[in-house]
Structure 1
Amino acid sequence: MLSVLRRSRPVVSRPAARVCYSSTATKSSSGFFRNAWDSYTSLLETHPLSTKIATGGAIAGLGDMGCQLVLEEKEKHKPLLDVKRAAIFTFLGGFLISPVLHVWYGFLGSRLPGVSAAAVAKRLALDQLGFAPTFLPVFLSSVLTLEGNKEQIPDKLRADWWTVTKANWGVWVPAQILNFRFVPGPMQVLFSNVVGLLWNAYLSYVSHADVPAKGLLEDGDEVDH
């Protein structure tokens, strides 16, 4: 009887050991993410602008790379990933979008504080009817300028500004309602950057779509008629 009990002990102890190991791994993983989040929030307090620049640049670059790898069809003679293009989006996300949003959200929060329906509605109106339609052409123009296609800016804005603005409202009106209503001020740029991961992929796609010159469009219209 004693020998039977001795033989049975390893069988009982092994699952317990696995459960203990799994529990330890889970706690270690959750502890890592918690520490990373605590470090990020601490950096937002001590170095708010530089932290937002780094985060915004990384997310904008990822958005462009996602566009290149998923949304666009690559020609055989072109590389799978245009590193220069991704670097330009990273630069603009970090040093154009993030600082502008840092200042803009700070302005909205100081002039229209609070999370009441009236305050959120006013901030949303200023953001989506004033800021967004103005900033979108600035961003598209910056992309084309840094890529050496400055001469395409008038045709690009003429062809895409209204389409992009309407798409912006479809994405950012609900996103900004959540942002202004529920997200703490220091985290609002991060929230916008996270939503902007997919939005940047869309902007990258639009900004690199071929646009015929105005003269060609007019000639085409004449041919159709």
Structure 2
Amino acid sequence: MGTRQIAGMRFLFRAFATVKGAYMGKYAIVANTVTAGGLGCVGDLIAQKSEQKSEKFAWDANRTRNMTLVCLLAGPLMHHWYRFLDRRYPGHSFKMISRKLGLDMLSGPFWYGWYIGGLSLLRGCNSAQFLEEMKDKVPIIITVDLALWPLFQGINFKFFAPQYRILVIKCNELVLDVIFSHIANNDYTFSTWIDAIQRHFSGKN
């Protein structure tokens, strides 16, 4: 192995140690919060890019700011929530994973309200508009959540240590953030969303 390869390996080991320390030390809540906000930002940018058919990207900075802020503020809550789950149900047994996963899924309505409510508030919606947003979009988010989240979280609880819980969750959520950002920032009801999916897979515009 040459000098450059050795130097590269040393750099990777130092980077891994730094990341590990950030998520295990006394500033873990800061690392988790920044991770939550950063991946929320990336998720919205991917969603915006995927929505645009033209080659020139027209960035909606306010939309990205709102998504980033909502995810950033959720970071500390997620940090404490998953610390509680891991301490209350330690280990990687099927029984422990099932309990954590069940409680995590039951917390879903809180997070639906957090994201849809937070984005509605930042967009200047009134209470009637907020309720309309919840009525139209929460059923869509529940459907997506039930389809993907148990799989993502089962892998997370089974194979990753507690200190990386929020990092892995946010990587999982990067997929969901793209979907949720698209849903939250476009006019959808459950029926129009199903119609849009059917048109997409049938090749119709």
TM-score normalised by structure 2 residue count:
0.83
Contact map agreement 1:155 1:211 (CA 8 A) in 2? no
Aligned twin of 1:142: 118
CA distance in structure 2 between the aligned counterparts of 1:35 and 1:124, rounded to whole angstroms: 33
Assess, with a 3 A threshold, how the Cα gap between structure 1 residues 81 and 100 changes in structure 2: closer, same or farther. same
CA distance in structure 1 between the aligned counterparts of 2:3 and 2:112, rounded to whole angstroms: 48
Aligned twin of 2:86: 109
Match of 1:41 among 13, 20, 24: 20
Percent identical residues: 22
Question: Bigger radius of gyration, 1 or 2?
Answer: 1
Assess, with a 3 A threshold, how the Cα gap between structure 1 residues 27 and 69 changes in structure 2: closer, same or farther. farther
Secondary structure of the residue aligned to 1:107 is: helix
The yes-or-no answer on 1:170 pairing with 2:143 is: no
Corresponding letter in the other structure for 1:64: D
Contact map agreement 1:57 1:91 (CA 8 A) in 2? yes
Match of 1:51 among 24, 27, 31: 31
Aligned length: 187
Secondary structure of the residue aligned to 1:46 is: coil
CA distance in structure 2 between the aligned counterparts of 1:31 and 1:69, rounded to whole angstroms: 36
Assess, with a 3 A threshold, how the Cα gap between structure 1 residues 199 and 211 changes in structure 2: closer, same or farther. closer
Assess, with a 3 A threshold, how the Cα gap between structure 1 residues 74 and 88 changes in structure 2: closer, same or farther. farther
Match of 1:179 among 137, 146, 156: 156
Contact map agreement 1:113 1:119 (CA 8 A) in 2? yes
Contact map agreement 1:102 1:189 (CA 8 A) in 2? yes
Aligned twin of 1:8: none
Aligned twin of 2:67: 89
Assess, with a 3 A threshold, how the Cα gap between structure 1 residues 152 and 33 changes in structure 2: closer, same or farther. farther
Contact map agreement 2:49 2:57 (CA 8 A) in 1? no
The farther-off stretch of 146-155 and 105-114 is: 146-155
CA distance in structure 2 between the aligned counterparts of 1:79 and 1:149, rounded to whole angstroms: 27
Which runs of structure 1 show a deviation greater than 4 angstroms over 4 or more consecutive aligned residues? none
Q: Which consecutive unaligned segments of at least 5 residues does structure 2 have?
A: 190-205
Corresponding letter in the other structure for 2:38: A
Q: Which consecutive unaligned segments of at least 5 residues does structure 1 have?
A: 1-19, 213-225
Corresponding letter in the other structure for 1:144: S
Deviation at 1:74, TM superposition (A): 6.8
TM-score normalised by structure 1 residue count:
0.76
Match of 1:80 among 58, 70, 73: 58
Assess, with a 3 A threshold, how the Cα gap between structure 1 residues 67 and 27 changes in structure 2: closer, same or farther. farther
